[in-house]
Chain A
């Protein structure tokens, strides 16, 4: 296994309110400040990653399966996230029509398919 790359961030925190809240929450989770900030960072990053890939799906740049792979979540989770954000399916009326016509032809109903196209 390769060596793990580490970077240290220095985040100046001045607001009394923020410092007090950090103390309270660190106490609640029984974590040190660095551990707590690392936890927040990881959770925030995951949310941002999910939002970003949902946006890629909304712009029709990736499929739902690919969006879930990029976000590192299951398809179920990505479906739920898209629903929460009210992002519509990529399937459009044109796809519906084209697929219906092809299905009619497969089933020997070219007559209806032609009417659909017309």
Chain B
């Protein structure tokens, strides 16, 4: 089975800021975002002059990241799911798309995760990707510590929570 991962806008931006897009592309055969995520991470970012938006755009141009429109089935699920107002448009699309494709979604924030769990979606956080890189031998122990610390700093994780990722 192909290893596919879907990213919401915040996860995509955080992984980009931490310089981890290459690792995600290395670990997964398909890295997918939706139209809403593209709008938020690329178009709005470029309009605001954020350089990370250009990095993401480049990764899309080089086909490392694919942008997919939600399928009609996902569109119906989007309506049926009746997501709470606490979630953003990109997160909703990613959740229903990942459910349709039965693949993994990266979601870091509480209510997006809660909605995903309630719908039976397989999910992980941005930091899990780095840990997976270590487990699968793509990065060594020292590199792991550096990368995960950088990501946690970008994410704004509390020191106690970051400690969970280090040893």
Contacts of B50 in A (CB 8 A): 74, 76
- Interface 1/0s, chain B 24-56, versus A by CB < 8 A? 000000000000000011001101101011000
What separation, in Å, do the CA atoms of A74 and B44 have in the docked complex?
6
Other A-B pairs, 10, CB within 8 Å; known A63-B10, A79-B13: A62-B87, A66-B86, A66-B88, A91-B127, A95-B108, A97-B164, A99-B128, A103-B132, A104-B135, A107-B136
Indicate whether A65 sits within 8 Å of B158 (C-beta atoms), given known contacts A75-B13, A103-B124, A107-B136: no
Indicate whether A65 sits within 8 Å of B89 (C-beta atoms), given known contacts A91-B155, A96-B165, A107-B135: yes
Q: Which secondary structure dominates chain A's binding surface?
A: helix
Beta-carbon contact of A75 and B165 below 8 Å = no
Contacts of B87 in A (CB 8 A): 62-63, 65-66
Question: What class of interface size applies to chain B in its complex with A?
Answer: 35 or more
How many residues on the A side are at the interface (Cβ–Cβ under 8 A)?
Answer: 35
Q: Which of B13, B48, B89, B125 contacts A95 (CB 8 A)?
A: B125
- Min CB gap B35→A, angstroms: 14
Interface residues of B in 7-34 (CB under 8 A from A): 8-10, 13
Q: Which chain A residue lies CB-closest to B128?
A: A99
What separation, in Å, do the CA atoms of A23 and B132 have in the docked complex?
62
Chain B CB within 10 A, most for which of A64, A82, A92: A64
Interface residues of B in 121-142 (CB under 8 A from A): 122-125, 127-128, 131-132, 135-136
Q: Which chain B residue lies CB-closest to A60?
A: B110
What separation, in Å, do the CA atoms of A100 and B167 have in the docked complex?
14
Query: Quick check: is A45 within 8 A (CB to CB) of the other chain?
Result: no
What separation, in Å, do the CA atoms of A99 and B148 have in the docked complex?
14
